[in-house]
Structure 1
Amino acid sequence: MRIRKKLTFVGLFILFGLTSKAQETLFEFGKRKDFNTLISGGSEAEALKWIDVNTADTTWYQDKDILICRGLPIGVVRSEKMYQNFIMHVEWRHMEKGGNSGIFVWCDAKPEKHNRLPSGVEVQMLELDWVNQHKRNGETPPIAYVHGELFGAGKVTTEPDNPRGVRSKSIENRCLGVGKWNKYTVVCVDGTIKLAVNGKFVNGVREASKRKGYICLESEGAQIMFKNLQIIELDSGYILPEHIVEEL
């Protein structure tokens, strides 16, 4: 009996140690603000903490206010907290032609084995030359594919505003190419997402099967830089248990 108790204690100690390690902050980047506080004149902001899911501490590094992702290994880091309704502003630029990346919202932060990426709604960030490097049957994909495409990834589904199959393509090309900064404003409310690129709303999805989850930054094979990431958290809305990802 005593031996069993010892083993149980050791097992719990190991499990606690692994869980604690899994929750360690890899880096801080960006700010979280509360909408009601902003309206009342407050300016308090808290640093966003990011936890590694399946990349490495060498994947990410910071140069002053810029977060740089080397692109390998393929995977994500996740926000410490889950978010339901919010506005996200982020600036990004690819440093390689044809570079691939994105940000997941309402994400479960649980990578699939076949591609190392989780389920969520992806806000696509592909460099413009991607279409020239990935011709299909000799044909060049439409530029709209790389320009802020929105779609349910993995187990998450959405209804597209501008269908390209199950994905939603942008209605106007406003994205800038390699080495140039792009600005995304992403409004996420009760299963609906609207995306503005460089100052104009051009895409959207609705009826997302998940409506509260983690935000994940994606590493997908190419160097990308992020800056000025801000999350403005809005009031919560009506939500069913099945719309919420499992808390980690």
Structure 2
Amino acid sequence: MKIIAAFLIALLCQTIAHSQTKSTNLFNGKDLTGWHMDVPEMDKNADAKKPFIVRNGLLVSLGTPGGHLITDKIYANYKLEVQYRFAGKPGNCGVLVHASTPRALYGMFPKSIEVQMENQNAGDFWCIAEDITVPDMESRRGPKENWGTTGDKLRRIKNLTDNSEKPVGEWNTMIIECVKNTIKVWVNGDQVNSGYNCTAQKGQIALQAEGSEVEFRKLLLTPVKTK
């Protein structure tokens, strides 16, 4: 009986460990279940179009009107794989991690750290009422006295590489790893950014509508074990 009990306990522990690292598709390929939109234009204009749709099995940010598609759930300690492309022409978009207070900046952007997807700048950090530290901070962010997280302060932290993105029309893979107070970013296999001392360690995940049409075919979240 002791052997059977030990076996059952081991099996239970293995099952729990597996469930803790099981990946979750944040986009089901059919609809926007698990997400909600925050689009200021839709507050005042009942006829405003929704800037996020599902088309041909892809999640599409139409770019306008400006706003965000935000997960209903809060996440911490994970790796997020995002496959995206600018199908028509190069433009701007972003993935926001540790998102919380809505419309904290310019009446539009939620409190968060943005991982930039803008063509030729993929992997930049943008601080939106949250902050993060990187090595060589002044060379990548500008004069220290101008740093900040709101308004017209220096909120952009440039990424480390050039030419990591695929040509427009081809699919890019961005991996964002958020573990405790660190955020690391890879684009098509190149590590393009790494920050620490982040002022947030959990939050929602958001996609932007920021002027350009972007297609997403994969949003896969995998929990990361921490000690």
Q: TM-score, normalised by structure 1?
A: 0.66
Matched, 1:221 2:211: yes
What is the aligned counterpart of 2:17 among 33, 36, 40? 36
User: Residue type matched to 2:130 in 1?
Assistant: V
Distance in 2 of aligned mates of 1:226 and 1:196: 17
Distance 1:35 1:182, change over 3 A: farther
Distance in 2 of aligned mates of 1:199 and 1:79: 26
Distance in 2 of aligned mates of 1:109 and 1:224: 25
Distance in 2 of aligned mates of 1:68 and 1:35: 35
**Which residue of structure 2 lines up, in the alignment, with residue 51 of structure 1?**
36
Distance 1:45 1:208, change over 3 A: closer
User: Residue type matched to 1:193 in 2?
Assistant: I
Say whether the 8 Å CA contact 1:158–1:207 is kept in structure 2.
Answer: yes
1:204 Cα offset (Å): 1.1
Runs of at least 5 residues in structure 1 that lack an aligned partner in the other structure: 1-33, 129-145, 238-248
Distance in 2 of aligned mates of 1:126 and 1:196: 14
Residues 129-172 of structure 1: per-residue CA shift (max 9 Å, x gap): xxxxxxxxxxxxxxxxx13102322x101112353215432222
Distance 1:186 1:44, change over 3 A: closer
Say whether the 8 Å CA contact 1:162–1:169 is kept in structure 2.
Answer: no
Residues 189-225 of structure 1: per-residue CA shift (max 9 Å, x gap): 0110111110121211111111111101111011111
Say whether the 8 Å CA contact 2:61–2:209 is kept in structure 1.
Answer: yes
Distance in 1 of aligned mates of 2:117 and 2:25: 26
1:233 Cα offset (Å): 1.9
Say whether the 8 Å CA contact 2:71–2:204 is kept in structure 1.
Answer: yes
Distance 1:58 1:108, change over 3 A: same
Matches within 5 A, 1:71-82: 71-82=63-74
Aligned partner of residue 217 in structure 1, secondary structure: strand
User: Residue type matched to 1:37 in 2?
Assistant: H
Distance in 2 of aligned mates of 1:150 and 1:225: 21
Runs of 4+ deviating beyond 4 Å = 43-48
Matched, 1:170 2:145: no
Distance in 1 of aligned mates of 2:68 and 2:224: 25
Larger strand percent: 1
Distance in 2 of aligned mates of 1:216 and 1:44: 18
CA RMSD after TM alignment: 2.7
Runs of at least 5 residues in structure 2 that lack an aligned partner in the other structure: 1-14, 28-33, 43-48, 142-154
Q: TM-score, normalised by structure 2?
A: 0.71
Which has the larger displacement, 199-208 or 54-63? Answer: 54-63
Distance in 2 of aligned mates of 1:44 and 1:91: 15
**Which residue of structure 2 lines up, in the alignment, with residue 148 of structure 1?**
123
Structure with the bigger RCO (C-alpha within 8 Å, sep 6+) is 2
Distance in 2 of aligned mates of 1:152 and 1:113: 10
Distance 1:220 1:47, change over 3 A: closer
